[in-house]
Amino acid sequence: MILVSASPRRRALLELLGWEVELRPAAVDETPTEGLLPSQQAMSLALRKLSTILPALKSDEIAISADTIVVHAGQLLGKPHDEIEAEQFLRRLSGGWHTVYTGVAVGSLHRSWCFYEETAVRFHHLSDGLIAHYLKKSPPLDKAGAYGAQDLIGLVGIAEIKGDFYNVMGLPVQRLARFWEQTFGKIFVGES
């Protein structure tokens, strides 16, 4: 299994399924495409990543890429450019609902598939002290919406989740496992 990502979170989630994972990150332009719905945007970015590696795959390799975006009040919040923007994102998310979309692209030399998962998340009010501490300890510049559900801010800040928790971490494991079983007849890669 080739994971087109440098994300340790995505790798760990795939390894929990018992999959052997090789990382092959792809540097792609993550600029949003105008006019796409959030679900389409997430899938488009995942496909962009996957397309960089498909020509180099061996005949027995399958690659997975994913991209996560956060949408609050109709506005897309990607990865923050700096800590100032990260703080702005967290203040906007504080005390309300937002939606997390993860697009997943799966491909081999002969075929590709794409799907997405959507999860609603509500934060408690995030105090100035909590935000400052979080940004100081682990600046979330590599995370959509400026937070990780598995990080401090998620542990104490998330009040409610409707949908797949792992989607908020960056990979909709439940949806991926169902897709894998329906497409390949098994969930675990080594399963006969």
Residue positions annotated with a catalytic role: 67
Sorted by sequence, the CB contacts under 8 Å of residue 131 that are 6+ apart come out as: 87, 90, 91, 94, 153
Sign of CA dihedral 146, 30, 53, 177: positive
119 vs 173: CA distance, rounded Å: 13
N-term to C-term CA, the chain: 16
Q: Give the burial class of 18: count Cβ atoms within 10 A of its Cβ; 0-12 exposed, 13-18 middle, 19 or more buried.
A: exposed
Kindly state the tokens that stand for 191. 């399963």
Contact (Cβ atoms closer than 8 angstroms) between residue 149 and residue 169: yes
Contact (Cβ atoms closer than 8 angstroms) between residue 36 and residue 18: no
Q: Which amino acid is present at 125?
A: H
What secondary structure letter does DSSP report for 74? Answer: T
78 vs 30: CA distance, rounded Å: 9
